[in-house]
Amino acid sequence: MQLSKLIDHTTLKNVTTTGDIDKICSEALEYGFAAVCVPPYFVQDAKKLVGGSAVKVATVIGFPFGYHHYKTKLEEARLAIEEGADELDMVMNLAAFRSNDLAYVETEAEQLSRLTAESGKILKVIIESGILTDDEIIRCCELYKHFPVQFLKTSTGYAERGATVEAVRLMREHLPSQIQIKASGGIKTAEFAKQLVDAGATRLGCSASVAIVKGETGSGSY
């Protein structure tokens, strides 16, 4: 298993600098990571740094809480695509979901997935599994399986609990095969990363990516 090919090398702190972006893009090229995941402000910079390589540029939409209006997320997504993003990690509207306004959540999913499908981009929907019950995780899987999303993603990295093997396994059991799983949040060791992959994850969001591929223990919340 070559973990590097599964990793989205990530920096999403609100104090991220151009120096941080230079660093993770350089590391992504050196280690062959799948993508760099950067704040929307830095999409153009990242695209210039990894352009022409196999490394994709991912960014976040409605991050980190997801309660933005879906029209706001749609505009965020359009701008990100215009500026060069290949993949969009969107936080679902958990406020609407917990309020049982599933029609709103479905509208959001339909609008965003249509845009990414028409643009040939990848959509990853973040469900924040660490704060959901098992039944709620299953409901998310049942909801999103009806839309052309490429990934369901466990976590933003901002909740108290990030990715778990149990959540990934549960998601894999209740998602159709065409929807992949991205595990993120608190992945700091190669051992844990491999456990998540064994449970069904095909992409990993990490800020400790270099330490992980070197077999060391990394720091950072994401």
Q: Which is the catalytic residue, given 89, 121, 124, 188? A: 89
Q: How many CB atoms lie within 10 A of CB 41?
A: 12
Say how far apart CA 106 and CA 109 lie, in whole Å. Answer: 5
pLDDT at 216: 76
Q: Which is the catalytic residue, given 56, 121, 182, 188? A: 182
pLDDT at 220: 59
Is 47 tagged catalytic?
no
Task: Please state the three-class secondary structure of 137-189 as a single string.
Answer: HHHHHHHHCCCCCCEEECCCCCCCCCCCHHHHHHHHHHCCCCCEEEEECCCCC
Buried b / exposed e over 73-93, threshold 16 CB at 10 Å, is bbebbeebbebbbbbbbbbbb
Q: Which CATH number fits domain 3-213: 3.40.50.10490, 2.40.50.140, 3.40.50.920, 3.20.20.70?
A: 3.20.20.70
Q: Which is the catalytic residue, given 73, 124, 153, 188? A: 153
Alpha-carbon torsion, ordered 56, 57, 63, 67, to 10 deg: -70
Say how far apart CA 35 and CA 4 lie, in whole Å. Answer: 10
- How far apart, in Å, are the Cα atoms of 49 and each of 21, 52, 106, 185, 217? 9, 9, 36, 25, 27
**pLDDT of the chain, 222 residues: tens digit per residue:** 689 999 999 999 999 999 999 999 999 999 999 999 999 999 999 999 999 999 999 999 999 999 999 999 999 999 999 999 999 999 999 999 999 999 999 999 999 999 999 999 999 999 999 999 999 999 999 999 999 999 999 999 999 899 999 999 999 999 999 999 999 999 999 999 999 999 999 999 999 999 999 987 766 556
Give the model confidence (pLDDT) of 3-37 as tens digits: 999 999 999 999 999 999 999 999 999 999 999 99
Is 182 tagged catalytic?
yes
